[in-house]
Amino acid sequence: MTAPPGRPLVDHRIYTIALRKMPEFLQVFNELAMPVLMQTLGHPLGFWTSLVGPQNQFVHLWAYESLADYERRSAARDAHPDFARYLAASGHLITAQETRLIRAVAMPGWAAAPVDSAR
């Protein structure tokens, strides 16, 4: 996956979810966090759960134009009146969180291949 044009900075979040609580977390995230995130952060790059390696992890990626764009949109998320409801409802479900800001790097001669979902 490559960063969208004009959005070279990606917020890479990993949440470790309490054992056997992933379905509850996903429901809480979808119902309470997503409306706020869509309003404040925009459209995500995607969501994943762990399959191999550390278990019970939920990953999401959001792209930004710059560090200032990230800070502005994150502040809007944190100040949103409904975001506190998500934090309160998910606190007991999340055992750890990692936040990484990663940036796109040019790799001359390489282009991302389209995802083949038929494999």
Per-residue pLDDT of the chain (119 residues; tens, 9 = 90+): 556 667 789 999 999 999 999 999 999 999 999 999 999 999 999 999 999 999 999 999 999 999 999 999 999 999 999 999 999 999 999 999 999 999 988 878 777 666 665 65
Q: Can you give the pTM of this predicted structure?
A: 0.84
Say how many CA atoms lie within 13 Å of 104 toward its Cβ: 21
Angle between helix 83-90 and helix 67-79 axes, rounded to 10 deg: 80
Residue 89 DSSP class: H
Cα 5 to the center of its chain, rounded Å = 18
